[in-house]
Amino acid sequence: MTLSDLAVHLGAELHGDGRLEITGVAPLDRAGPGELAFLNNPRFRKHLPGTRAGAVLCRADDAALCPVPALVISDPYLGYARACALIFPEPLPRAGIHPTAVVDASARLHPGVEVGAQCVVGPECVLDQGVVLGPGCILEADCQVGADTRLGPRVTLYRGTRLGRRVRIHAGAVLGADGFGFAPDQARHWVKIPQLGRVVVGDDVEIGANTTIDRGALEDTVIGTGVKMDNLIQVAHNVHIGDHTALAGCVGIAGSTRIGSHCAIGGGAGILGHLDIADGVTVTAMSFVTRSIREPGVYSSGVPHDTAREWNRSLARLRRMGKRDKGAPGQD
C-alpha cells in the first residue's frame, strides 16, 4: 500500500512523496524505511526529528518538524488504528468445517463460515456469513452468531446465547453460565434458583480472554452495541451494559446492575448489584461502586500506594481517631 493510498483511505493530508510503499508499522523511535509511525502524545515529540520511519502520522503542527513524509490528520491515534487495519487486514475466513469439529445436523451454518478443529456446535445453532470459530469453541444448543463475528480459541457459549455482528471474543471466555442465585432453606442450605435467561450481545462488541458473563435469571443479561471488555471480567446475571461502554481488566459487576452508555470502568473496579449507573460515568481503577450514580462524571475510591511504613501510620491514625470520637459526647 502506498502512502498516497493510505492518505486517501484515512482522509489525511499527504506531505511528501506519496509513492512510498508502506509495509509495516513501528514506534516513532524504532521505525525504519517502509514503516509507518505515529505521533499523538506530545511526550514522544522528542523522537520526531531523529525518526527514520518511512512516514509519520501526525498533527499539522508537528508535520513541520517531521524529517520524512507525513500524513497530517487531526487524530493521529485514530488514524493509526485505521492504518493498521488497512496494512494488516485480518485473514479472510477459510470457509469450511474442520473434520474434527462436531456440528449438530440441525445447526444452520452459512456456507462461508469457518469452524476450527475440535469445535462443538450444538442443535439449532445459527451461524451467519463470515463467522469464524477458533479451535476448541463450544456452542451449546440454540446459539445465534451474527455475520463476521469471530471467536478465538476455546470460547464457550451456553445454550441460547445471542451474538451480534462483528463481535470478537477471546480465548477462554464463557458466556451464559448460570448466574449465582440461591435461596436459603429452613436448614440454611442453599437451594438453586434455575437460571432461565440468556446472554444477548450487540454488534461490534469485544470480550476479553477468560471473561465470564452469566445468563440472566429470568430475563436476559445484555451487552450493548460497541461495548469493549478486557480480560478476566465478571458480569453477573441480569446486568445491562450500555452501548460503547469500555471495561478494563478484572472488573466485577454484581447482579441486576445497569451501566449506562459511553461509560469507562477502570481495572479491578467492583460494582455492587441492583444499581443504576448513568451514561457517561467514569469509574477509576480499583474503585468500589456501592450506590447508584445519577450524574456523569468521574468517581473513585481506589487508595494509592504508599511505603508500607507510611501506610501503616495512616491506618493507625484513622483507627485512633475512631477511638477518640467514641469517648466524645453527642457522637453516634
- Return all residues near 292 (Cβ < 8 A) that are at least 6 apart: 275, 276, 277
Choice among 15, 237, 240, 244 that is catalytic = 237
Nearer to a copy of itself, 58 or 289 (CB): 289
Nearer to a copy of itself, 162 or 168 (CB): 168
Give, as ranges, the residues between 162 and 221 that touch a copy of itself (CB under 8 A). 168, 170-172, 174, 177-178, 180-185, 188-194, 196, 204, 206, 208-210, 212, 214, 218-219
What number of chain residues touch a copy of itself (CB under 8 A)? Answer: 117
Q: Least CB distance from residue 192 to a copy of itself, whole Å?
A: 7
| 312/290 Cα distance (integer angstroms) | 25
237 labelled catalytic: yes
Nearer to a copy of itself, 17 or 74 (CB): 74
Out of 1, 65, 84, 147, point to the residue binding a copy of itself (CB under 8 A): 84
Give, as ranges, the residues between 124 and 153 that touch a copy of itself (CB under 8 A). 134-136, 138, 140, 152-153
Out of 19, 49, 111, 307, point to the residue binding a copy of itself (CB under 8 A): 307
- Return all residues near 64 (Cβ < 8 A) that are at least 6 apart: none
Q: What is the dihedral angle through the alpha carbons of 7, 8, 11, 14, rounded to the nearest 10 degrees? A: 30
Which CB contacts under 8 angstroms, 24+ apart, belong to 50-57?
A: 53/26, 53/28, 54/3, 54/20, 54/22, 55/3, 55/16, 55/20, 55/22, 56/28, 57/10, 57/12, 57/83
Out of 13, 17, 21, 310, point to the residue binding a copy of itself (CB under 8 A): 310
| 265/293 Cα distance (integer angstroms) | 13
Give, as ranges, the residues between 217 and 246 that touch a copy of itself (CB under 8 A). 218-219, 226, 228, 230-232, 234, 236, 244, 246
Q: Least CB distance from residue 271 to a copy of itself, whole Å?
A: 9
Look at the block and give the residue holding cell 466485577. 252
Nearer to a copy of itself, 19 or 188 (CB): 188
Amino acid identity at 279:
D
Nearer to a copy of itself, 19 or 309 (CB): 309
User: Other C-beta atoms within 10 Å of 89: how many?
Assistant: 9
Per CB under 8 A, the segment of 14-22, 46-54, 63-71, 117-125 that binds a copy of itself is: 117-125
Give, as ranges, the residues between 267 and 296 that touch a copy of itself (CB under 8 A). 267-268, 270, 272, 282-291, 293
Per CB under 8 A, the segment of 12-20, 52-60, 64-72, 77-85 that binds a copy of itself is: 77-85
Out of 62, 112, 154, 163, point to the residue binding a copy of itself (CB under 8 A): 154
Q: Residue 98 interacts with a copy of itself (CB under 8 A)?
A: yes
CA atoms within 13 A on the CB side of 5: 10
Q: Residue 313 interacts with a copy of itself (CB under 8 A)?
A: yes
Q: Of 315, 283, 314, 277, give the one whose Cα is nearest residue 300.
A: 283
Nearer to a copy of itself, 13 or 312 (CB): 312
Give, as ranges, the residues between 35 and 74 that touch a copy of itself (CB under 8 A). none
Nearer to a copy of itself, 7 or 103 (CB): 103
Buried residues in 267-277 as b, exposed as e (16+ CB within 10 A): bbbbbeeebeb
Hey, which residues are catalytic here?
237
